[in-house]
């Protein structure tokens, strides 16, 4: 019969697998982070026109 893996052993196997995956895909993750950063900067810095409701009409004094 197979032995059941303990919780610590499962954690170590998951951690080793995750670190291996990150090591193999680090350049892809760096590229994804760079694209996301450029997209966020473009969204934040893109010029927008003011909404018409935000600019009140000038008051008429008579």
pLDDT in tens, 14-56: 999 999 998 999 999 999 999 999 999 999 999 887 666 666 6
| pLDDT at res. 3 | 65
Q: What are the sequence ranges of the domains in the chain? A: 7-44
| pLDDT at res. 29 | 92
**Cα–Cα distance list, 49 to 10, 27, 34 (Å):** 55, 38, 28
| SS3 per-residue string spanning 17-58 | HHHHHHHHCHHHHHHHHHHHHHHHHHHHHCCCCCCHHHCCCC
| pLDDT at res. 39 | 97
When comparing pLDDT for 7 and 26, which is higher? Answer: 26
Question: Taking the model in full, what pTM does it have?
Answer: 0.55
| pLDDT at res. 10 | 85
């Amino acid at each position: 019969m197979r032995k059941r893996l303990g919780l610590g052993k499962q954690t170590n196997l998951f951690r080793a697998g995750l670190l291996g995956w990150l090591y193999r895909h680090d350049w892809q993750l760096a590229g994804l982070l760079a694209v996301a950063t450029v997209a966020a900067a473009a969204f934040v810095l893109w010029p927008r026109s003011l909404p018409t409701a935000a600019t009140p009409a000038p008051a008429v004094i008579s």
